[in-house]
Every structure is written in C-alpha cells, then in structure tokens.
A and B are shown apart, each in its own frame.
Chain A
C-alpha cells in the first residue's frame, strides 16, 4: 500500500470530484425539468399525448448509459450537417455531450418515478379539490404535483445516487471527472489499488452529501407530519 501516492493525489482527485458533482447537479436539474412534463403527459388517458414520453422512456431505460454517451459524443461528430450547425459549439465539447446524455437518461428514469407517484396520489384528494370547484390547472399545481413530489422523493434520491455512479462513464469521453483523474494518475504511477480506493472513498463521501441533502428536504416537505 503506497500511502504517499494516495495523499499526493488527493488535491487532483478533489478537483475531479467537483466536476463529478457539477455533472450530476446540472444534468439532475435539467433532467427534472424534462421529467415533470413527461410524467404529466405519461399519465394522460389520451394515447397520442403519452406516446412521445413513452417512447423516450423506453429508449433511455432500455439502452446502456455508455452507449448513449458514445452516441451523443462520437455519433454527433460524424455528420457534417451537425458539425456546421449552431449546435456544434456545444456538441464539440465533451462536457455538454455528457450533460446531454446524462440529462436524457435521468429524465427517463425520473419521469417513470413521478408517473408512479402521480398515480399514487389518493383519488379522494383530487375529488375533494374538484368538489370545491378548483380548475384542472389549479388541481395540478396545488394537489397532484406537490403530493407526487413528496411520494417520489425517496425513490428519486436513489436515482440521483445511481446517476452519481453512472457519471464515472464521463471519463470515457476525455472528461477529467473523479474516475478520469484517477485513471490518468494510474497511467503514470501504476498504483490502481491506491487510486481507485481513494476515488471510491470520495464517491462514498459524495453519496453521503447527497443523501443528507435529501433527508433535509424530506423533513421540510413532511414537516406537517412531525410531532409538535
């Protein structure tokens, strides 16, 4: 065990951990923004409304994240039409390719989680809202969505943690995330045990941070259930 190499690598690994956290946070926010309307369309009784989100969810849940990253990164570079379009300044950056792939991937899973939560909102509460004369839009805003978020939260925290670990694949498209930094240092020192162990510990630390954040959020959202 070479402790020296582990300690010396810590600053570089910490920098990689920051990029990892940033990738998860940015794609998490974008993913959630996509997932909410998709889940709302997904629970629609009308076939043509739910067709598009269903296709999206099937594709991104049915293919490996690595394949999706390669499709966005190497796939987009193959077409002259894309390379000369306004999209290329973004698609030429590995960072945005990773964000796009992660966003699309997590939005599919999150939409499914929200779909389940929306269907779990007690019928009676929606009926009560209708009975007092709320418009459908108001029922979505005041009853269905807030209730669904609360129900979905534990499952959603799981998805964010899976995303954190999935983000290690960003290292395959030249990004220097936590795994990328570890692999690049190993290329010089040939100490995979030490570096992957250090990187693993940092991943555990990030997981605890995320879990802690969700615990606080859950407490706040369910404060009406707390004993006074």
Chain B
C-alpha cells in the first residue's frame, strides 16, 4: 500500500515537467517602464508584456506571466522556475554562456542622461558619479570602459532616476527607450540626453534555458510572423512614435 502510494507520488513528480510544457511560464521584471511595469491596479503591463502575449497567441501557447527581480532573473530561469524571459534582455557573450537566445525582437542603444543645465558629456564620465541598474549592460559597459568613474549600481532603473533627481548622481547610463520614456515624464523634464549613444549594437531577445533551443526557435518564428502581419507595428506605435525593431 505504502509502496504504491510512493510510486504514485514519484510518478506525479516526474510527470510535472511534462504538464508544464503545455503552459509556458514567462518571467519579466515589472520595474522597467515602458517595457515592463506594474500599474496602479497591480497588473504587469508594457511593451514586453504586449509582445509576450502576441507571441503566445501566434504560437498557440498558454502563457503565464511571472515577475522576478532583475538580478535573480537568469538564476531563476536556470533553476527552472519559468521557461523564458521576456524582459528587455540584451544578448551578451556572458549571458550566452548561461542561457540561449531567440532572434532579437528589438534593438537598443546606451546613452547618458544628465540635467539640462549640466555640461556633462560622455568624455567626462571618468571623473563623474554615474548610476546604472545592477546586472545590466549599462552597468557592465561602465565597469569595462570607465572603471575609474564612481559607479553606483541600483536594484531598479527607477531608483537610479530617483538619485539623479536628488543630485547624488551626475549622470545615468541606461537604455535609450527607457530614458526616453522617463525624459517625457514630469520628473524627467529637467534632464536630457548628453552626447551620442556610447553603444548602439544592443540586440534585445528572449532568453530560454540551454537545451531549450527548440523553444527559442518557436519564439523566433513567432517574432517574424507578428512582424509580417502588422501586430508588432501596432504594439510599437502604442509606446513609441518610431520603429524600435
């Protein structure tokens, strides 16, 4: 009796991953407006979320969205807490060693922002106090290219903007579209882009576990399909007056 119960229990444990294949669990951060954020009603919204829903509809998959803090998002994927990350994640060599990526679904640049009144330029970065979000390509770019700068890393992008407002930071390095959204807001009115983008070959894609390349391929095909039928362009237009693909 006990043995058959144990067998049943063991069987159900093994069966779980098989069931999980039917619904895809997708992680996003929820603190990165306008790409992913939690609105006043507590729902996750944004470009990434709309794209995720469009891709799931295209693939005919049942998707469940979960939020996960940014610096734990790759470890969580590797640990199997979800099947894919759609959270404005850049393809980097380091990340490619840990996870696999689909084809890009948009392109990004890194550009400094500073107060309108400041004469800060990218050339002054080495003597400045600069903020970025922890575990982003912006933080990594700063550590690799201006290690002598006073680099402060924040848990969320929003906290970096808060500290730019308080005057603790001379400048913030972040994704242009995220900064664009913030500069358009009331808080960001007194700030602007400074100089040209310092990095402009940043491809944003969907991350899956190593060995799940078939899933990445399904996402890549779905991205192509929503580009072709205009769904992508409609979502893009809701957030930006220009094409970010």
Contact = CB atoms under 8 A, between A and B. Distances in A.
Given A77-B166, A184-B134, A187-B139, A174 B72 contact: no
B168 A183 contact: no
A192 B81 CA distance: 15
B166 A192 contact: no
Interface string A70-94: 0000101110000100000000101
A72 B152 CA distance: 17
Interface stretch (B8-16, B103-111, B155-163): B155-163
Contacts, number: 49
Interface residues of A, number: 17
A77 B165 CA distance: 8
The size class of the interface chain B forms with chain A is 20 to 34
B136 to A, nearest CB: 8
B71 A183 contact: yes
B94 A188 contact: yes
A76 B152 CA distance: 18
Contact of B168 (A92, A172, A188, A190): A92
A23 B172 CA distance: 27
B183 to A, nearest CB: 19
Contacts of A174: 131, 152-154, 163
Given A188-B140, A190-B98, A94 B152 contact: yes
Contacts of A189: 94
Contacts of B134: 183-184, 187
A186 B73 CA distance: 11
B42 interface: no
Contacts of A78: 166
Interface string A157-201: 000000000000000101000000001101111101000000000
Contacts of B168: 77, 92, 94
Given A74-B162, A94-B152, A183-B134, A83 B167 contact: yes
B135 interface: yes
B213 to A, nearest CB: 18
A54 to B, nearest CB: 32
A184 B136 CA distance: 10
A186 B78 CA distance: 13
B75 A186 contact: yes
B236 to A, nearest CB: 29
Contacts of A187: 71, 134-135, 139-140
B135 A77 contact: no
B216 interface: no
Contact of B163 (A77, A172, A183, A190): A77
B164 to A, nearest CB: 10
A63 B140 CA distance: 35
A76 B155 CA distance: 19
A83 B153 contact: no
Contacts of A77: 162-163, 165-168
B27 interface: no
B87 interface: no
A86 B237 CA distance: 47
Nearest to B98: A190
Nearest to B95: A190
A66 B177 CA distance: 30
15 contacts: A74-B162, A77-B165, A78-B166, A92-B166, A92-B167, A94-B168, A174-B152, A174-B153, A186-B71, A186-B75, A187-B139, A187-B140, A188-B135, A190-B75, A192-B72
Given A172-B155, A174-B152, A190-B75, 13 more contacts: A74-B159, A77-B162, A83-B166, A94-B168, A174-B153, A184-B134, A184-B153, A186-B75, A187-B71, A187-B139, A188-B94, A190-B98, A192-B75
- Which A-B residue pairs are the 8 nearest by beta carbons? A77-B166, A187-B135, A174-B152, A190-B98, A192-B75, A92-B168, A190-B74, A187-B134
Interface of B: 71-72, 74-75, 78, 94-95, 98, 131, 134-135, 139-140, 152-155, 159, 162-163, 165-168
